[in-house]
Structure 1
Amino acid sequence: MKYQAEYDYLERVLGKMRLRVMLLTRNWEPDQYLDFGLRKFLGVGDRYHRILQSSESWAAENTIYRITDEFDCNYVFLLLPETGDGMLVGPYLTLEKTREQLMEEAERYGLPASRLHDLEACYAAIPLLRDDSTFFAMMNVFGETIWGGSHTFTMLEVRDDPPAGRLWQEEEADRDPAEVMLRMKSMEDRYTYENEWMQLVTLGQSQRAERMLG
């Protein structure tokens, strides 16, 4: 690709923000890594991102899509010039789900109360980006680079409808206890990191806060 250097640079920068970049070839099939195992946990692994599974039927060239899936996970998707492969960035959350919200969702999904902490751990593994304006500024610059200017592409939003009813299927959703512990550790680490970063910002120590992001 003529823009390989720009692609590699963007991938590194987004990696610092804990945002994953995936290159989707024609033979690519969604798997549990797409949403850090959320659908697998709920027992609906066969529903891995229905929007992307049919992207060939709706995705247009010179377009950056912001996708919000049925579980409030956000992604950016676009078709790369020259190759026609898809580029997927995400997932990430823009709002942290409260325990009350997760309790409501657990009830709607038919999730046993004893597994609520597992649902919390699943969401905790997904990066939180409260303000994604900087991220989209970077995607805009990337679009200008690969398509030749700001007037050569558009940005569109795609939103999937939230689940209408019960999802939980215990026989499919049982998971390795070690995996649960790993997610809980990820949640604890993220909260600790964010609290330290917010404390530095509050104290006006912007340089130290920037080093944490770097």
Structure 2
Amino acid sequence: AGLSDRLVKEFVAPTLQVGLFKPPNELSAAVAMELLYFYALAHQTAFDVRWIKKRSIAELLIAPLAERLIERHNLDVRAKCFVRSIDVDDATKKVTSITYADGAAGGEEKCLENVDAVVLALGAKGMKAVVGGSPKLAKACPELCKACSLNAIDVLACRIWLDKYVDTLEPANVLSRFEGLLGAGGTFFMLDQLQKDDEQLLWG
């Protein structure tokens, strides 16, 4: 969508990895744009971009995108709707309908039938709510139940004690694009540089 492979590899992917701990292919466009807007674009002096001064990402980017998809591809966009449950046929193990709360109608419960497929673009909390209200789905897809047992995002924080001082250009920075990371990314903080005025407290 107008992004070069180099831009994605060297900027977009590392930024999303550090900010949301997920690669671009596992994030929705809306979430990615929100993160890039607040995490990267807000630093006007560091990036050559046009700053959005009025209105929101939803108004300037998401709404026009939705309108275009509706106009060109006959897409049915239902805003302010929250899935309550997903029904699955016991015999075929396929989704048959979705029950959702329509926020635009005061939370009225509605049903969407004759469903061909469902994409679960949900976090751990949302997944718990949907699977918890969908016993047939939970039975048909035990891996979703395992996903619901996760109480956090896929991130690990650890302190590594080095046996010597390591000189770096900055005391904190992003790390990515190393083959050994297998697609992951992170941020390092050199505490001995950040807290050099009180090393006794740092090292104990």
Q: What is the TM-score with the length of structure 1 in the denominator?
A: 0.24
Which structure has the highest helix share of the two? 1
* Higher relative contact order, chain-length normalized (CA < 8 Å, sep 6+): 1
Q: Which structure: larger Rg?
A: 2
Q: What is the TM-score with the length of structure 2 in the denominator?
A: 0.25
